[in-house]
Chains A and B, each alone.
Chain A
């Protein structure tokens, strides 16, 4: 699949499935870990799977399980988990120019995770209008099913799996930074965007390593956006 504009080979949903395959390397090991931790925290296998089916947001699921197991007030659990997911508010508006008025988009928004947003933000503009919903359905449903299936496997046999193949958790998740890199590198086609992207990425690394993993994405993105405006204004004024 090309990152430049290209016509679709095969049906749109099949192409969506194909494009989302690299996500599985990141989703399945994390989902297995979640399933394992959830069961160890006292949730049943069914409850664990239902958490993944309905919440479907990695960081907030881990927080939900950890806070609930520690006996934190449930209103605080709800607020904290929603705060972590607050970054999702910019995803839908960024994609909306590429989505038609089909009502099926409404339930499909359940699948709008960080990774699906990153993939769709690059791929949807390259696709013809009539192919977009099929492509998105294929990509989002595959990602969602892999998350649910990974959770079930983790809840049922996560301990045994990680004992036998400890490298599952160490190697496969590298698919995510590799995929994000491929998605963002075509944007670095001029100095303004290159510096903006670099600052966002470096800020995110620093924030995560400083112990702020949940705030890293929105804060780093905002710092990049601020730099973009500063550099753009300097260029307009002839300084840059």
Chain B
């Protein structure tokens, strides 16, 4: 890589870090200023809604198979159903995720 490429890399790295850091610092100062007992209560409502909807959107985007054919969608559907089934029994994260991946893999390999 030449100097200009390194500069681009460093700019992106710093910019990405600041995108993660600065809004956090802004909210921290805002919460400190309000000096409320429960910080969540003084956060803007739109921000508390965007948190869960961002996770739901990540779920949606990650759900789309790399090769979106019938078998992949079938495997995806079964994988999510198994994940949900195990979650309803265990209310945990690790085991439902593992069972979901295994069932997804079994369906993918079977077809």
Which residues of A approach B to under 8 Å, CB–CB? 1-4, 18-19, 21-22, 25-26, 43-44, 47, 50-51, 54-57, 60, 64, 68, 74, 77-78, 81-82, 85-99, 101, 105-106, 109-110, 112, 114-115, 117-118, 121, 167, 169-185, 187, 193, 196-198, 200-205, 207-209, 213, 216-222, 224-225, 228-229
26 interchain pairs, CB-CB under 8 A: A22-B97, A51-B9, A60-B16, A78-B8, A78-B15, A92-B22, A92-B27, A93-B47, A94-B51, A96-B24, A98-B39, A167-B109, A171-B101, A175-B97, A178-B101, A181-B59, A181-B87, A187-B52, A200-B57, A204-B56, A205-B61, A207-B61, A208-B61, A213-B61, A216-B60, A222-B50
Also in contact, A93 and B43, with CB within 8 A (given A3-B93, A180-B59, A220-B56): yes
Closest beta carbon of chain B to A97's beta carbon, Å: 3
Main secondary structure of the interface of B (DSSP, over half): helix
Chain B: CB-nearest residue to A198? B56
Residues on B with C-beta less than 8 A from A196 are 49, 52-53, 56
Residues on A with C-beta less than 8 A from B12 are 55, 60, 64, 77-78, 81-82
In whole angstroms, how far apart are the Cα atoms of A47 and B9 in the complex? 10
Q: B110 in the interface, Cβ–Cβ < 8 Å?
A: no
Residues on A with C-beta less than 8 A from B9 are 50-51, 54-55, 64
Closest beta carbon of chain B to A163's beta carbon, Å: 17
Q: How many A-B pairs fall under 8 Å by CB?
A: 275
Main secondary structure of the interface of A (DSSP, over half): helix
**When the two chains form the complex, which single residue of B5, B21, B27, B97 contacts A179, counting CB atoms closer than 8 Å?**
B97
**When the two chains form the complex, which single residue of A109, A114, A193, A200 contacts B24, counting CB atoms closer than 8 Å?**
A109
CB pair B62 A176 closer than 8 Å: yes
Residues on A with C-beta less than 8 A from B26 are 93
Which residues of B approach A to under 8 Å, CB–CB? 1, 4-5, 7-13, 15-17, 19-28, 31, 38-40, 43, 46-64, 66, 68, 75-76, 79-80, 83-84, 87, 91-94, 96-98, 100-101, 104-105, 108-109
In whole angstroms, how far apart are the Cα atoms of A105 and B27 in the complex? 14
Residues on A with C-beta less than 8 A from B96 are 178, 182
Question: Which interface residue of A92, A95, A98, A216 has the most chain B CB atoms within 10 A?
Answer: A92
**When the two chains form the complex, which single residue of B5, B16, B101, B109 contacts A74, counting CB atoms closer than 8 Å?**
B5
Also in contact, A182 and B57, with CB within 8 A (given A81-B12, A85-B16, A96-B31): no
Closest beta carbon of chain A to B3's beta carbon, Å: 11
Closest beta carbon of chain B to A151's beta carbon, Å: 14
CB pair A97 B31 closer than 8 Å: yes
Residues on A with C-beta less than 8 A from B47 are 90, 93-94
In whole angstroms, how far apart are the Cα atoms of A218 and B33 in the complex? 29
Residues on B with C-beta less than 8 A from A115 are 58
Closest beta carbon of chain B to A16's beta carbon, Å: 12
CB pair B43 A97 closer than 8 Å: yes
Also in contact, A184 and B55, with CB within 8 A (given A90-B23, A174-B105): yes
CB pair A117 B54 closer than 8 Å: yes
